[in-house]
Amino acid sequence: MRQKRRYRNFSNLLFIAIVTLPVASGLVYALLYSLGFIGLLNKGFTTDAWETILLGKPFWSSLGFSFYIAMVTIIISLTVSLSIAISWRKNLNKGALSSLIYLPLCFPGTVMAFFSYQTLSKSGLLSRIGFQLGWIDDLRMFPSWINDAYGIGIIITSVLLITPFFIILFSNLYTSEKVEEYVQLAKTFGASKRQVLLKVTLPILLKKASVTIYLFIIFVMGSYEVPLLLGRQDPQMISVAILQKIQKYNLYDIPKGYAMSVLYVVLVIGVLFILYRKNKTFFKTEMKHS
């Protein structure tokens, strides 16, 4: 027992040392920089950067745009991945498809972004195919899916990146949670296919994947490479807006960038805390089987 406690305490300390301390140190540094305590142009305590961020429009528009991109991406990805995982579950467990589904996970975001640019831009593959087939008379008539105001290119690329992961996740959950047994049990009680899907299959899979889904919402909101390559200057996603403030030559924008980063982290933690307080089992994925 003592050895187990020592091992557990050592594991907790190691986690704090490797994960918590660097993150906390970065947040403290960013907070001190935004308040004027440190930095190249520091003149002592000041809230100018925070007032500019809180009362200005750029931060909130970037945050709203990032949330919109994340939600649309997750909804499309969940719809596609659940449909494939449920409909093709037998093919995903054996055969060529069970191996090919892992292939898209090999491509990093930068590579996928360049692929989307070469495919979806006005001079890309789809526009040239449409021109050759006579669907459009000029390449400029092709819809703007790259660097557009609605982030269509960002959404498509993000969906391509995360959908294979969700397909694998739901396929594995379908087997590990023995969903098929619950489906057959529901059918014996006279449930229709629609009722089985809405009342049995989807609730089990979504409940087990709830934490992963919310983490991927945060992941998409904070993505950098894809919106940097496929997005536009206005509106910007929050990560691009923050890094441009910090890395630009204007030294007066650096405290604003750090203030934006701290505020974004606080908001994310606050939302997760509210979800946890409302339902303390929200982040628990274990389900008791009778």
Residues 146 and 184 in one domain: yes
Residues 153 and 233 in one domain: yes
Residues 119 and 95 in one domain: yes
In a domain, residue 8? The reply is no
Domain limits at 260?
A: 21-56+254-282
Average pLDDT, the chain: 86
Q: Are 127 and 136 a contacting pair, CB within 8 Å? A: yes
In a domain, residue 7? The reply is no
Q: What is the band of 136 on the pLDDT scale with cuts at 50, 70, 90?
A: confident
Per the structure, how many domains does the chain have? 2
In a domain, residue 287? The reply is no
Q: What is the band of 1 on the pLDDT scale with cuts at 50, 70, 90?
A: low
Residues 153 and 263 in one domain: no
Residues 121 and 152 in one domain: yes
In a domain, residue 234? The reply is yes
Residues 242 and 266 in one domain: no
More confident residue, 115 or 88: 115
Q: What percent of the chain has a predicted confidence (pLDDT) above 70?
A: 92
Residues 179 and 201 in one domain: yes
Q: What is the pTM of this model?
A: 0.86
Q: What is the mean pLDDT of residues 45-54?
A: 91
Residues 35 and 174 in one domain: no
- pLDDT of res. 3: 63
Residues 205 and 273 in one domain: no
More confident residue, 176 or 17: 176
CA distances for 11 relative to 1, 22, 23, angstroms: 15, 16, 18
Q: How many angstroms separate the CA atoms of 270 and 82, rounded?
A: 29
Residues 87 and 210 in one domain: yes
Q: Are 121 and 148 a contacting pair, CB within 8 Å? A: no
Residues 95 and 133 in one domain: yes
| CATH code of the domain covering residue 111 | 1.10.3720.10
Considering only CA atoms, which of 261, 265, 230 is closest in space to residue 244?
Answer: 261
Q: Which residue has the tokens 């959404």?
A: 155
Q: What is the mean pLDDT of residues 191-206?
A: 89
Considering only CA atoms, which of 260, 267, 270 is closest in space to residue 239?
Answer: 260
CA distances for 40 relative to 216, 249, 260, 264, angstroms: 36, 12, 18, 23
CA distances for 193 relative to 12, 66, 177, 207, 258, angstroms: 46, 36, 19, 20, 52
In a domain, residue 9? The reply is no
Instruction: Give the tokens for residue 183.
Output: 């489906």
pLDDT exceeds cutoff 80 at 127: yes
Q: Which of 101-105, 181-185, 278-282 has the lowest mean pLDDT?
A: 278-282
Per-residue pLDDT reduced to its tens digit, 227-271: 999 988 888 999 999 999 998 878 888 999 999 999 999 999 898
In a domain, residue 87? The reply is yes
In a domain, residue 80? The reply is yes
Q: Are 230 and 157 a contacting pair, CB within 8 Å? A: yes
In a domain, residue 14? The reply is no
Residues 109 and 218 in one domain: yes
**CA–centroid distance for 103 within its chain:** 20
